[in-house]
Amino acid sequence: MTTQAEPPSARRAAPAARTDRPAPTLTHRANTLLRHGRPHRLLSGSLHYFRVHPEQWADRLERLAALGLNTVDTYVPWNFHERTPGDVRFDGRRDLERFVRLAQDQGLDVVVRPGPYICAEWDNGGLPAWLTGTSGMRLRTSHPPFLDAVGRWFDELIPRVAALQAGQGGPVVAVQIENEYGSYGDDADYLRWTRDALTARGITELLYTADGPTELMLDAGTLPGELAALTFGSQPEQAAALLRARRPEEPFVCAEFWNGWFDHWGEKHHVRPAAGAAETLRRILDADGSVSLYMAHGGTNFGLWAGANHDGERLQPTVTSYDSDAPIAEHGAVTPKFHALREHLLGPEAATRPVPADPPLLPPRTLPVTRGAALLDALRTVADPVHAPLPLSFEDLGQASGLVLYTAHPLLPAGQFDLTVTGLHDRAQVFLDGTPVGVLDRETASCRVTGTGERARLELLVENQGRINYGPLLGQGKGILGGVRVERRLVHGWTMHRLPIDTWTPRELARAASLAPPAGTAGFATAHLTVDRPADTFLALPGFAKGFCWINGELLGRYWEIGPQTTLYLPRPLLRAGENTVTVLELERLGDRIDLLDGPRLGPTEEYVETFD
């Protein structure tokens, strides 16, 4: 590798000699995982604090312990804690330290997976959009500007984790080095730098890597001297044999056992039968393996935090629900899979150990809808415009997520013409003089428009449907990255309205919803929900097509009639006794009611099948 000047963060990350580190709680010897020197089996489950309302953390952790697990593991999404450069927050929903202490209250050990990249079907794989949008940035490499940014983030995060280690009286017993790096790249210097950045900032507990069970992934994702763990959903005997052939002295650890799977919009809801998942878990345990269930409890991609995948041909946005067919359902109910897995985790004790009752739900009812501001009228006036000769991307506009309304006034000769958008990421509704004329996406970025020989108001409402979280397209930009053409001629003179709807305050949302009189078939609508005693519920929006839903100013997430998900989980803590306001921003077709249902509707199902790519 070419030698280059060492960045300041790399100097900060220079590790102390390994002999200076206190003995970690978890060690290993002769194929055996040890805890304080005694044989130990790590029985963990993934539960992401950032996908659960903080008032429900304790409840979900109690259920995880009741499942028969002794450990909880969680990622830490950088972009969730530092939405804008330098503004790092660890309060409220971001209070990682409180979550870890609550786990300790349940008698659970904790594994922390700090990234800086986490995948997790989370927007941008947890990397901040302001970082990935920096010109010339080289992600997940030893590129000095990237290391410098990671070093500053780790300066904020890692001392907090270090203070919660078991050696300091806390529950943290292990920390992951990066995340499935062998699926992405082979910059060994970067992987070593990340390990050293953790130890330099106080991590003394067990360090490990986690990768898929293939030679390709393990070649690039592991580090000599650090425990190598695997991620998979089936064939544990083959995975164990591969690992033991490469690391004969190390214990078999499955860092992610995929007992369920996530969903994309427009596809089916993935399920994994309880009996099959339980049988694979049994085989992992029979192979003397330690294991972490991914997910034990999935939770929800509230707001616009759901990521997206790309299969080489098309974008695959992830749905709002992260239920993942987990043993603990999105709203905390225990499932048949919970009981099937619990029998193997607890053995005979499963018959006597109590299981918490399912959380209460509001009775079903129907809420009439009142239409509010029309779509374009509201969006044109809700934000100050930005002007440029050519369309600007979300990154150019300093916006991570949401919508941008692009407006120009081209002269259109009489007749029909092809309107083409190059570099569209991800979806655009096209309007001509206020009339919808087409919907474009990354794969179908052209439509026919009709001119009259006069100038027309051309508007494109572009939606970021989730930043790619896995694979070589990680970090791609959003918005219009190229230009807009009528036939071969570029359209110039653009006005852009920034619409970061996930950062709107309740006051800003209310203002947007009331700016214009009711008109048209799309726009804002409201409904009112009165409750005596708040409880969980699920919102269904029959007749609505695609949009976003808030409760009392809190953005629950996206909805889309193409499914598979047709309900939005509304957790109890977001409701208050008395009147509550549901606000909808509908992009295509307003319905006339909102239904409260007594359970989720996650769509038609198909069985999850494991692949490695």
256 counts as catalytic: yes
Q: What string of DSSP letters covers 407-466? A: EE--B--SEEEEEEESSEESEEEEEETTEEEEEEESS--EEEEEE-SSB--EEEEEE---
**Separation CA 291–CA 261 (nearest Å):** 17
The count of other CB atoms within 10 Å of the CB of residue 454 is 11
Q: What string of DSSP letters covers 366-423? A: EEE-EEEEEHHHHHHHSS-EEEESSPPBTTTTT--SSEEEEEE--B--SEEEEEEESS
107-125 in b/e burial notation, b at 16+ Cβ within 10 A? ebbbbbbbbbbbbbbbbbb
User: Which one is catalytic: 82, 180, 205, 395?
Assistant: 180
Q: Quick one: DSSP state of residue 316?
A: E
* Cα angle: 495, vertex 87, 158; to 5 degrees: 135
Query: Which pair of structure tokens corresponds to residue 40?
Result: 């130990």
**Are residues 560 and 514 in contact, defined by beta-carbon separation less than 8 angstroms?**
no
Q: At what angle do helices 96-105 and 144-162 cross, to 10 degrees?
A: 40
Q: What string of DSSP letters covers 461-527? A: EEE----B-SSTTTT---EESS-EEETTEEP--EEEEEE-GGG--HHHHHHHHTSS---SSSEEEEE
User: Which one is catalytic: 121, 256, 330, 395?
Assistant: 256
**Separation CA 479–CA 468 (nearest Å):** 14
For CA atoms 191, 197, 200, 206, the dihedral sign is: negative
The count of other CB atoms within 10 Å of the CB of residue 139 is 19
Report CA-CA distances (Å) from 539 to 86, 298, 361, 366, 599: 36, 19, 12, 10, 9
Residue type, 255: A
Residue type, 2: T
**Separation CA 449–CA 446 (nearest Å):** 10
Classify burial at 27, counting beta carbons within 10 Å of its beta carbon; exposed 0-12, middle 13-18, buried 19 or more.
middle
Query: Which pair of structure tokens corresponds to residue 515?
Result: 């700016």
Query: Which pair of structure tokens corresponds to residue 264?
Result: 């994309």
For CA atoms 44, 46, 50, 54, the dihedral sign is: negative
End-to-end CA distance of the chain: 27
561 counts as catalytic: no
Q: Which residues are catalytic?
A: 180, 256
